[in-house]
Structure formats: C-alpha cells, structure tokens
Structure 1
Amino acid sequence: MQSKNVDKSEFIQIRKFIVKLGKMLHKYGTPTFRLEAYLLEVAQYLGVRASFIATPTSLTVVIWSDKHEDEYNTAARLMPGELDLHALSLTDELASSLLEGKLTLAEADKRLDEIDVLPSPYNNFITGPAFGLATGAFAMMMGASWSEILWSAALGVLAFVWTLWAQRSKRVSLMLEPATAFIAGILASAIGGCLDPGINIPLIVLSSVIVFVPGLALTIGLAELSNRNMVSGTARTMDAVMQLFKLYFGAFLGITAGFTLFGENVYKPAQSLPYWATWLAVFLLTMSLVAMFRTRLKHIPWAIAAAFIAYGATTWGAMYMDNGLGAFVGAFALGVFANLYTRIANQPSAIVAMHGLIVLVPGSKSYIGLNSFISGQDFVRADNIGQEVFFIFMSLVAGLIFANVVMPTKKAL
C-alpha cells in the first residue's frame, strides 16, 4: 500500500501507537519475524514508512513520512515475552478494527492500554491444577505407570508454586529452572525411597519440569533462523539451550542428593498403559495449555482440534516414515490447519498453532539426549536420540514452511 501524506500531529499519533503495539506484541511472546512483518503491515496501512528490528530482548523502530518530512527512531530494552494468547487475540482484533476504520487512532491507543492491564481469564486456582494436569499428561504420553503419573502431577503443582514465588522475587526468578528441578529431584528420590519403591525417578523429574523445558523456544528459534532473522534466531536458540542445561543440572544434582539421603532407587518397570491413554494424554495436555497460554474460550475447540490433527498426522506419518519425517507430516498438517483457521476466524494462526506445536516439539527428547550423553544411561527407551531430535526439529520447521506455501496465511501473526 502506498504511503499517504500525514501532518505532524497525525504522524506523532501514528508512531506512538506503532511503538506501543510493538512492545505489547513482544510482551505477549510473538516470534520476532512475525512481529516485524505485522508491524510493517500496520505502518503501511497507517500511511507511514517504517523499519523494525526485533530480538527476544529488544525492539528498534524507525518511522518516517513519505518524503522524510518527519522521522522518528527509538530502541527499547525489553524482557523476553511469554505467550499470552488472550491478550494477543484482543490486540489483533483491535488492530483489525483500526485498519477497517471502525476505531480512531485515539480510541485504539486507549484500548491498547486497557488490554495491557487485563488480568488473566484463568486465576491461580485454575492455572495451578493446569500445571499438574500438564505434567501428568506428559508422563502418560511417555508411558509412565499410574502411580508415576500421579507423582508427576503432584510435583507439577509444586512447580507452579515456585513460578508464583518467582513472580514476586527477582532472586527466585533467576534460579527458577534449576531450583525447581533440584527440589523435584530430591522429592522424587524421597518418594522412591520411602513411599513408592521402584518408580522411574528421572522420568518423574522430567515430567514435573516439562513446562520449563524449552522445546517450543528451540523450534521458534530455528524458524527465525530459517527466515534469516539471524540475531533473534541465534539468541533464542542459545537461550533455550542454556535453559535446558540449567534444568538438567538441577535435576542431576537433586537426584544425586536424594539418592545420598534416601538410598538409591532400583527402577522396576510397571505394566504399560493401553494405547488409548496416549490420546487421552493429548487431550489433557491441550486443556492444561488452555489455562497456561490464556486461550480465550471461543478458541478452545480450535486449539483441541489443532493438537489432535498434529499428533494424529505425526502418528500416521510415522507408520510409513521414520519418526523424524513423521513430525514433518504433523507440522505440515498443523500449519495448513492454522492458516485455514486464520482465514475462517480472522485471528492469528499462533492462537491454535502453539497448542499443536507443544505436542510435536522434541524438548523432552533433547533432555533425554542430554542425559544419555552425560550419564550414558537411558531412563526411557530411546535409540539414536540425538539424530532423532535433529531430524524432528528440522522436520517441524520444514513442515511449517511448506504449509505456508500450500495454504498462505492471511495474517503476519
């Protein structure tokens, strides 16, 4: 769209709105390559020219009028954003209303401030059990026994307590991942030594901290690199790797301390769960993510469908190809569905895509591979885990790229 002539007062209004919109979308966990593309679309519709550079910790904005009568640039240091699909959806609806002429720029700016202070639609009494549901569902997907699933869920609720504490204490926030994994390791060892001998302690610890395992961040980082957003992609990928190291070190230290205090646990494999339990786990995991990602009620059926499409397509693909390429089929099906959702609901594809990606991303396998590399032992059956993780990551990124070619997205978000 061609730029239009704007006077100085209008230019000031426009650039204030664009900067505020960019900061809010960054805060809500928008991938940087999507953030830049979306802000560029908004700037063009508002009649100004602009350039944006986004990273996980900063946002640089340059805005100028058609003939450079007015120019503005700013750089902001920002904290890495966390997914908030409720606020992301409302912000996108606001921007769409502005571009359709249903809101004035002043009204849109005021509404942005209102969205920014909205509380989560899910309070702590819902989010806390959602943590336990997510960790228990993951243990179920990994083939744990019923007792291991229950212990994982209990420790998952404890991880939520640590998360609440981190929101109120900067010192705790700096050590959240390793401290949570350390406590989980000690408690799991105590459970194995005193209450339930023979349980799979490393699997319980992994399940209890799965909400912190950065599989999604690694996938987004690689997607940013594939879009040639080198600085942001590299920063996000290395941040995810360091988070994975912190989690593993905390868990390793906690289990070691626990074995010293309560005696070493001898794992006794329990009877595996029936096949239908895996599909139940996908449903339970998706429902827990609804609260953790703050998904709006009207988007829940779409989110559940996305998770089942992603997992079902991956399972079907794995029947004819190896597991890595099966993930390509799942990511491709998820990408097509998410882009189709964008066309039907006029909402960002991320609202449903993130739920499906969580089911697909191999963050847990990265952790298992790290454990195998350091200790030389596997706590779940995993052959050639390093190679499989690499193929799954590449398959996910390639699947999403191919999906955007077959079913182009209607929105940049």
Structure 2
Amino acid sequence: MSGLIPGAAQAPLETRIAFLVELARRLHQYGTSAPRLEMAISASAQRLALIADVWSSPTAIIISFADAGAEEGLAQVTQVMRLPPGDMHLARLCEADAIADRAIAGELGLREGFRLLRELGRPETRRAQAGVIGSYGLSAASVAALFLHSSWADLVVAGAIGLLIGLITVLSATRPRLAAASDAICALVATAGAILVSAFVVPLAIKSVVLAALIVLVPGMSLTTAVREISSQHLTSGMARMGGSIATLLKLTFGTVAASQLCAAFGVTAGTFVLQPLPRWMDWPSLLVGALGFAILFRAARRDWIVVMVAVAVGYLATRWGGMLSQAVPGAPFGVFLGGLLLGAMANLYARYLHRPGAVVREPGIILLVPGSVGFQSVSYLFERDTTLGMDSFILLITLLISLVAGLLFGDLLVSPRRSL
C-alpha cells in the first residue's frame, strides 16, 4: 500500500485511530495470524498518515499510534485489547477487508467504516449455526473415507458423532464454562459413542472413527500457524499459539483415555470383527463432500464456495501426487511441501488479481495437509506409555510441519504477496 488519500488521512486523529483499532479487532477475531495482522494494520495506518507499532498475540493486541507528521516520533496513543483466540470466518474477513479498502480509498467515511466493522460482530443466525454443525459431520465422514479408508459403518458413525460434536461446539460458543472443557467432553463423547456402537450395534475401527470424528477439533491449523509465526520471528505469538495447541491435544487425549477407561470399568468391550473397507472410487465423492463441508466450516461466503472447494481439492491431490512421486504414501513430507507450495502461490495470485484476501484459498486449502492427526496420535501413544511410537509420531509431526511451512514460504517467493491478508 502506498500513497496517502487526502480525505481519509485528514480525518480527526481519534477517528482514524478508532477505525484502525476496530479493524485490528475484527481481523484478530476472524483468525488472521500475527504477521499478517501486523502488516495489514501498519500498512493501513501509513495510508491514514499515521505510524502504528503493532504487537499481536493469540489473546491480545497492543497498538501504539503516532501522527506521521510528528517530529518526535513518540507514540501519542496506545491501545491495549484483551481478546479471546480468533476463529476462521472467511466471509466476515472478506467483508472487513473490503470495508477497510473502501474507507481508506475515500469511498466510505471512516466513521461509517467504523460502524460497518462494528456490525460484523453480530451473532450468527440459527441457520448459520446449523450449517456449521452439518459441516462437522461432513468433514468427519470425508476424512474417514479419504485418509482412513474405513468401512461404510465407520463412515456413517464418524459422521453422526461429528454432528454431535458440532452441536457441542456451537453450544459452547456462548457458554464460557462449557467452552473451557468442550474439547475433553467432545473426545469423551466420541470415544464412548464409538465403543458403545461397536459393542452393541456393528463392529467398528474405534481409533479411526474417533480420529475422523475429532478431526475438526485437532489443532493442526493452529500448530501450522504457530510454526509460521515462529519462522517469521513472531516468537511470542508463535510460542503462545503452540502452547494452546498442545493444551488442546492434551484435553482431547484425556477425553479419549477417560472414555476408554470408563467403558472398561462397566465391562463394555468393542467388537473385533473387521468390516470390508470402502472401495477406492469412494475417494472422489468423499473429496467433493469434504470440500463442501470445509467451505461451510470456514464460514466462506456462498460466492466463494467453489474457490474453497477447488483449493481443498488442489491441496489433497498435490499431496497425494507428491507422495506417489517420492515413492511414499500420500501425505509424506514432499507431498505436503508440494501442496503448501502450490496453495501459497495460488493464494497470492488470487489476492493479486481479484483484490480479495488470499486466506480464502490458503487456509481451507491446507486443512487436509496439516498434521494435526499425527500430533493427536503422538500424544495418545504417550498417554498409553508407548514411548517408541509416541516419539516416532512426534518426529513425523515436526517433519510434516516444517515441510508445510516451507512450502508456504516458497510459495510466497514464487508469487510475491501483494496484500497482507
């Protein structure tokens, strides 16, 4: 961003600062990482004739403002915001980006832009919440088919448990006490439900069903973002996000272990008969259904559903092809690197030529690449005192994280980003 726009830059200091603070709040709320948020606010402040020093973390933002014409260069106003960790909401992220562009370009008054940004904080409708719940079920079922190659029974049960987990997650959004324990509760419900169905209805691959049902809660995206922030020297934010991801993994693992012990205490034992796995042709309809589920899960606007679905498909197919190219299983480090490279470049091209946030392509695209399930398995093995498998899984987790982040960084080198988001 370059050049000052006279109308916006000459607005009262308080108006310019209020607009930028609200913009930062919304970008944080809708899942923007620390490096991109700081770049976006700093660039926007420059166009409003302000100097902004921005510090962002998963739970707070501190911004110091100074007028660009001030000779002393000292901050005139410092704003401190304590915020809960953000959650990806692509539709509102795009709206916030469009409002900021229009306001800074002078097409919209800063006060009106501030009002429109405030309105983005409105609660979600019942219809939107129902869509999110449905997306949990679709995502769980598609993962069961794509990566775990489970049976029809596993797929159906994983989808049903995913719907239940989606309901718990939506309810916890407005209930702070439930939210604090929701990860452990979801893991307990998923594991207990799978064991009960396997014991009394139809035999299941318990670990596969539980992993598929919990896949949305496993913090693969958060782990990836943490490594990206650490690699860009945003150490405080990266380490804080890493700590939050590890806490989530521990809560999920505790829930699964507690449910297993509880069922064992009541003498409930899962069936051991192995059902016929799904045919290979099911990968393609599963990919289509999963991509639609992720478009809803990331709360993309309807106009962006096709873009999101294409990005998810590209990420999966690039990883699969890269794994085959390296004569390994799909999801091997080279495949993950290749997927990250393509998606990073595609996101920057999308942002450059369509003037919209590249996150619409980048964030959903890497959802099937992030190694959250590997991290969950690693902690589960350690809880079971199987240190050998636990450490092997942990090393694989680190390898995949590095490969994915390297791919995204090389994607930025291949096609330079023109927009902060």
Would you call these one fold, judging by a TM-score over 0.5?
yes
Match of 1:24 among 19, 23, 26: 26
1:184 paired to 2:190: yes
Residue 155 (structure 2) aligns with: 149
Q: How does 1:163-202 map to 2 (within 5 A)?
A: 163-197=169-203, 199-202=204-207
The alignment covers a number of residue pairs equal to 410
Q: Which amino acid aligns with 1:189?
A: I
Q: Which amino acid aligns with 1:313?
A: A
Residue 331 (structure 1) aligns with: 340
Q: Distance in 2 between matches of 1:17 and 1:7?
A: 12
Specify whether residues 266 and 376 from structure 1 end up closer, same or farther in structure 2 by C-alpha distance, changes over 3 A only: farther
* Consecutive unaligned residues in structure 1, runs of 5 or more: none
Specify whether residues 208 and 47 from structure 1 end up closer, same or farther in structure 2 by C-alpha distance, changes over 3 A only: same
1:204 paired to 2:209: yes
Q: Distance in 2 between matches of 1:287 and 1:43?
A: 37
Match of 2:397 among 379, 389, 396: 389
Residue 321 (structure 2) aligns with: 316
Contact 1:15-1:63 within 8 A present in 2 as well: yes
Match of 1:232 among 208, 232, 237: 237
Query: Runs of 4 or more off by more than 6 Å in structure 1?
Result: 2-9
Identical counterparts, % of pairs: 27
Residue 361 (structure 2) aligns with: 352
1:374 paired to 2:380: no
Specify whether residues 97 and 120 from structure 1 end up closer, same or farther in structure 2 by C-alpha distance, changes over 3 A only: farther
1:400 paired to 2:408: yes
Q: Distance in 2 between matches of 1:57 and 1:181?
A: 25
Residue 44 (structure 2) aligns with: 42
Q: Deviations over 1:112-145 (max 9, x none)?
A: 1222226459523322222111111111121111
1:102 paired to 2:104: no
Q: Shift of the alpha carbon at 1:367? A: 1.2
SS of the equivalent of 1:399 reads: helix
Q: How does 1:265-276 map to 2 (within 5 A)?
A: 265-276=270-281
TM-score, length-scaled by structure 2: 0.91
Note the aligned Cα RMSD (angstroms). Answer: 2.4
Bigger shift: residues 187-196 or 314-323: 314-323
Contact 2:196-2:270 within 8 A present in 1 as well: no
Residue 412 (structure 1) aligns with: 420
SS of the equivalent of 1:123 reads: helix
Q: Distance in 2 between matches of 1:325 and 1:140?
A: 23
Q: Which amino acid aligns with 1:149?
A: L
Q: Distance in 2 between matches of 1:84 and 1:225?
A: 23
Q: Deviations over 1:312-370 (max 9, x none)?
A: 11111112225112110111011111111112221111112111111110111211222
Q: Shift of the alpha carbon at 1:376? A: 6.2
SS of the equivalent of 1:30 reads: coil
Q: Shift of the alpha carbon at 1:4? A: 9.2
Q: Shift of the alpha carbon at 1:225? A: 0.4
Match of 1:15 among 11, 14, 17: 17
Q: Distance in 1 between matches of 2:321 and 2:391?
A: 20
Q: Shift of the alpha carbon at 1:228? A: 0.3
Residue 128 (structure 2) aligns with: 123
Specify whether residues 382 and 329 from structure 1 end up closer, same or farther in structure 2 by C-alpha distance, changes over 3 A only: farther
Q: Shift of the alpha carbon at 1:73? A: 0.6
Q: Deviations over 1:202-257 (max 9, x none)?
A: 22122222211000000000000011000000000111011001101101110221
Match of 2:265 among 260, 265, 279: 260
Q: Shift of the alpha carbon at 1:42? A: 0.3
Specify whether residues 319 and 91 from structure 1 end up closer, same or farther in structure 2 by C-alpha distance, changes over 3 A only: same
Q: Which amino acid aligns with 1:136?
A: A
Q: Distance in 1 between matches of 2:272 and 2:353?
A: 50
1:306 paired to 2:311: yes
SS of the equivalent of 2:12 reads: helix
Contact 2:9-2:47 within 8 A present in 1 as well: no
Q: Distance in 2 between matches of 1:122 and 1:409?
A: 35
SS of the equivalent of 2:323 reads: helix
Bigger shift: residues 79-88 or 98-107: 98-107
Residue 77 (structure 2) aligns with: 72
Residue 117 (structure 2) aligns with: 112
Q: Shift of the alpha carbon at 1:200? A: 1.1
Contact 2:51-2:66 within 8 A present in 1 as well: yes
Residue 53 (structure 1) aligns with: 55
Q: Distance in 2 between matches of 1:300 and 1:189?
A: 35
Residue 295 (structure 1) aligns with: 300
Q: Shift of the alpha carbon at 1:28? A: 0.9
Q: Distance in 2 between matches of 1:39 and 1:396?
A: 26
Q: Which amino acid aligns with 2:347?
A: A
